Structure 1
Amino acid sequence: MESLHNHKIHIPLFSLLFFLFHFSSLHFLSLAYEQPDKYFVNCGSKADANLNDRVFTADSGFLCSEKGRTIKSTNQSTILYQTARIFYNQSNYEFMIAENGTYVVRLHFLAFSSPSVNLSSALFNVSAFPIVSNSGFKLLNNFTAKDSGNSALIEEFFLAIGPGSLKLYFTPQGSSFAFVNAIEVFRAPLKFSPRNYSSSFPLVLRTTYRVNVGGPKITPDNDTIWRNWEKDDSQPSAENSQPSSQPLNRLSVESDGFVGADNDSIAPDLVYLTAKLMTGGSNGLPNPFNITWSFNVSADARHLVRVHFCDIIGPPANIVFNLYSNGNLITKVGGPNFPFNRLNQPFYYDFVLTSKESEFINISIGPSIDTTTNNAFLNGLEMLEIIEGPALSNPPTSFCNMKGRKKIKVGLVVGSVIGGLSLICIMIVGTLFGLKYRKAKRVETSEWSPMPAIGGGSAHGRLTDGTITGSPMNYLNLGLKISFAELQQATNNFDTKLLIGEGGFGNVYRGTLLNGTNVAVKRGKRDEQGSGQGRPEFQTEIMVLSKIRHRHLVSLIGYCDERSEMILVYEFMEKGSLRDHLYDSNLPRLSWKQRLEICIGAARGLHYLHRGAAGGIIHRDVKSTNILLDENHVAKVADFGLSRSGPLDETHVSTNVKGTFGYLDPEYIMSQQLTEKSDVYAFGVVLLEVLCARRAIDTMLPRDQMNLAEWGMLCKKKGLLEQIVDSSIKNEIDPSSLRKFSETAEKCLQDDANDRPTMGDVLWDLEYAFQLQQTAKHREPHEDSTANASSAFVLPNVQRFPSVSSTINIDELALLGADELDTTEVEVFSQLRVGDAR
């Protein structure tokens, strides 16, 4: 037994040593293939260049379209600026982006002299196409880099980019050309992105000023992310402080828009250890005046301003002053209860300004009336212009020459492959040994259980009813993940003023992402007890929306599952839900034509779910609240938290009954057997809602009228349907259109699911009703009515295409046309703006 015991110890150790060795080999191989996290590109050169501890590599691995032409300088001492790449036709560089975030993009231009071309005469545009919004912005317009001697012109931008590729296009204007000397693309530190801003924040920021107030110039080699901080020479009437010799007390604190600069990526220590102060007056006391900095900016543009403070003069609690812009008070700084009232504690404040017709922005600080200490200070200032469009939606097609520049050494590949094969053999042996050992101990499990959901704190191994095939969070689309910090920014820390809906799952907030897109953020209720409540719906929503795309279905932009948070982010649907427009007296009434178009759109979306998606999807919660309208009243079906999927050849899915009272299929309630026809029944209720403008269940009405489906069908059979039609549209509905519409609703609401049509047939019938309305001729009231229709009435000659539910398979024809999401793959963010959602 002792010999066996030793044997069991030595084999895993031996395997572990080999695993570590060969894993290292495989790791080196992966490094050779993968793009680096940071891109520093030496344009027009085949050699690497080192600048401020950054290695700028040759640009051939990133070039797309035309390769351009390389020119060299004869008198440049800085190696990075000894070459340039010039383009006579539109060309672009492409960089692979691994994850969401704010990225720094710097373009270096030095118009050096060359015998063959004068770089100072170049005139061109530069555009960026980030993945997050699948649209682009023009970074530089009619740009020219004048000859500035040996000083390079560096244009710096901040872009919100998602996983995929970032393309930078250089487009010559007229008969001119474009050029660039170097390019930097890297992710900004997580806490660097602006967080305190107005309700609208765009995709791109362009740095216009960065000043070390009261201190010397700071060069890139003294900055964590290689920024230039210019020396402040604009205030002769104010005085520079003596540099503080004490270390900074960096803390992560936020209060009323002020944020602690807890790391040097916000600003280097050199910025906070110097400041500009008010000069001394009589009796050694400072004069009560304002210190003002004036900046020349683009007219009619918005700017993000970040001001940096650090009290290095003290006593801190006694200094209270105001921050102004163009004479307008922005905020008060300091005071006894101010969270940053300790010496050498750096912090900053962000705000947005509009220059309007003026080409100047003045920033001032001055003493507040709340203090007897007439003093004020400022340590640093950054000003970034907000580039707001117009957005560019169709980048030209380009083909990259290479997808990466790094070459793989043959020896490394061979060694890595051999090492990998060895590792596989060892792992197989180890696995067999482990299985044998476990079998000897008779450790068994009755069923496979997925890993617990990330951040949910759920004790359940298997997802509960209501999920799609029990898929764990590990298999969700990680490319859609958005950080909690970014969503806090987007919603002003979930400000109740931005609350637009409340439901069983949680609250819905209006927000603005870093790229300026208005979104709806649905935040699930916190699961403090770890019960897993709400997580199946959360997971199902992500699973469904990450694999379907259709013009009439909401499209998920992202989600957050950090810690115990369950947050879904959708496009903000400007017009809200269909229910809002049917019952809210403050909204304009929908016309009959609009209602028909909305029903047709929703039917297309549901038909795609049933027949176009992989395996078929049953929505299970179709209702007017879950049909949303964009600014053009285009309908999109939303809320897939209760959806179920399965092969189309299955007649039903056995499941617990879930849904909303008033829309539930009676057969589903009795048998607990879910089919796509359950969605058809619920949609029939929606059709009656649209026609009658009353709720599915109204407890204020008499008992026989409470249930809309029962009451509507009773009126239809008695020939009294016209009496319950919404009075606001009664006079505009053509009788034949009304008849077809009501017949469609009646077929949807049959008790036996086999008697109900498919959504394909429902879609056709609704389109038919719409054409009848469009081709209607004026008739006298006695000529036709729904209650007493003439059998001799001749319908317009409307062509009927083959039914989608027939044996003719035209799913692709129906689903790849105008109804499907545009082939440009525009990412649409869809929301839930609902007042009474689940």
Structure 2
Amino acid sequence: MQMEKLLLFLLLFFSILLSPAAYTPPDHFFINCGSDTNTNVSGYPNRTFIGDLIYPGPLSFTKQKSKVITNSQISDVLYQTARVFKQQSFYEFDIDTAGIYLVRFHFFNSTDVSTAVFYVSTARFSQLKNFTVPRSSTNDSNSPLIDEFLLNITQGKFSIYFTPHGSSFAFINALEVFLAPANFIPDKVPTPPNKSYSGILSHALQTIYRINVGGEKVTPDNDTLWRTWIPDDKFLYNSSMAKKSTPSSARPNYEKGNVTVYIAPAPVYKTAIEMNTNGSNYPDTSNVTWSFNVSKNSRHFVRVHFCNIVGKSVGSIIFNLYLNGNYSRKIDPHEIVGELGVPFCLDFVVDSDESGAMNISIGPSKDSLDTYTAFLNGVEIMEIMGESSVVIKPDKSTKTVFPVVGPVVGGLLVCVLAVGLFIVLKKRKRTSVKTSVWSLFSGHGGGSSDSKGTYRTINVSQVPNLNLSLIIPFTEIQSATKNFDEKLVIGRGGFGNVYRGILKNGLTVAVKRSQPGSGQGFDEFLTEIMILSKIRHRHLVSLIGYCDERFEMILVYEFMEKGTLRDHLYNTDLPFLSWKQRLEICIGAASGLNYLHKGSTGGIIHRDIKTTNILLDENFNAKVADFGLSKSAPLNETHVNTGIKGTFGYLDPEYFQTQQLTEKSDVYSFGVVLLEVLCARPVIISRDPQLPMEQVNLAEWGLLCHRKGLLDTIVDPSIKGEINLNSLRKFAETAEKCLQEDSVDRPSMGDVLWDLEYALQLQQTGLYREPHEDSTIEATSDLQMINVQRLPSHSLQIERDELLILGESITDESLPSASEVFSQLRINNAR
């Protein structure tokens, strides 16, 4: 331990000695596109955007078939002109100094260019080809859209291409291309939990978030590299756990830290969020969590900023940093920088999963000396564009490589570091041998307490106590997927790729394959098999079989022709679902969930209900899928104590706070699904700084609109004209009941199922009456009959549940559905 501390001190000392030379922000290239004048832009002190028509060089661009449009109604002079291209065109720069460049594209989506759809690319970074500016690129017609990339550019010619999509056109208002400080982005950083990522600089990085935690918006005129930092309020999951620290009046002490003023400006380090605790003892409470909406299944460069303006004395605070729930690191500011008010940052590469949410949390550590709290000053998230071709390998040391600037000092320190690291590595190697050998037995194949372990043979499944009749040989799965041909991939998730395949009996299936030999996801693999091998229901995806040989974990399901429910709601080219279709899909999913809760001995809690886990067959029948996180509810118990798992935005807040999982947790998630179906928008929108805070979270926004009587304003425009108002009212009431804060106030899934069936009947009949309502309107006796029968909604459900709970083999095929009950009541056009 002492040796490690000595090495850390030497590394920090070495980094200070070898700090880069002073950096002066360049004055090129700042281009005012489509202009013949120079523009001094507010927010860019001492910077002039030069018109592309008069740029003195070294710049060239496509003039043929391009034109200039002018809009004097725009208040900001920089965006009054734009260059428009009807064919692939370019701007070409002469780069005299190789390094990391900040490249910013400025677009103002005015009426003249609102229909533009195009692509931006460079010769080297083809990843940018997917960049488009659609009609809805900005929600505020008075605000520009600025997209920032970091590119490693070599000396010579550097071209940016603008390619119109089809018969559309491309446009650009302004361009920035300028050199960043030396060592601005490292090429190798840690990848949680214990790996490293090499080759960052071979990829383009797109800035997704730049957050000033605990502070106000930082505008370009207050930033050293003309960046914008937005407040963190809309990203906080539970704001009651956090409080803003008192802003520091002192300037951050950059001289003592591992960052310069160009890494982050002083306003970022002068504010922070800390835990809302008294700090007097080690608290048993939730962490402070920020959640960000990112691209699914992608890699991101994450930089977190710290400056201890919270502690009263040096060394008083030690806390934990958590990334995406699967990695934690102890943060000891005293060990890293040694003094209060000294800024530092840490870099990571973090993989996002199928949920598209990235969580960053801070929490207290019991190692803290006297103040049990935690703090955070800033966050930056940049997506690493394109497929990764870099090598990821175990990170066996914490060594850092610095450029040698003095042969004597550098050589001496390198020798000292090398000797010290050799000793540490040798010690760790002795320990790691046991760990690596043990992982062969316990990591993937289901371990054993026997010292010999349980090593998996080539063709024998080691998954215990499962239905062996479901085993499908690996060779057959290989043949069905044409050896896992990439052309047959129909989905990618946290577990692995999903392929379309055809078994030798001619059955079309979906094949979900984990990364071979990774050992990750074994618990989910086992849970899925155990649950789906015991239950059958027309609204639950059927398990055809599984493969557990050759270090493979493969699940084979029935093939769902129409994909996920979310695929048909938004960000899609697929035809819109009608309101009747949406109701029937929700009814089907609710039926499947109700069977999970009541149809198996003890009940099953799904724990990850969302629109991507509701699949549609060729006839748009809904089936609930993905049971890897599911839990069996113990008999005679009201809840399961378990760690937090699920998808942010759908997660039951009571479960999140108490870690007590109940069936009502699924009900809450299903309530979010109902709003997503109604509104056709993501459950979390956090990347749009123009979006009002109350609209970021769909559940909160939907409840707010419902209570204000503004429900019609959030309905998906594609179905707005076809919804019967009574059906809409019943549907919204059902969603609201599902989203109650206290689980005891939420209905059962059986009641939700009935209410949705009722909403469907109202859509078909156009009539609505409240239970207990006296007949004061014209209505048939049949309609009165349903009001009488609807009163005790639990009565029919009890009868149905008693049937369902008889055994795990019950399929629900022979039981009357709610729709059939309505049919027996003969309500006008009820089905």
When the two structures are superposed, what TM-score results if normalisation uses the length of structure 1?
A: 0.40
Higher relative contact order (CA 8 A, sep 6+): 1
Q: Between Structure 1 and Structure 2, whose CA radius of gyration is higher?
A: 1
When the two structures are superposed, what TM-score results if normalisation uses the length of structure 2?
A: 0.40
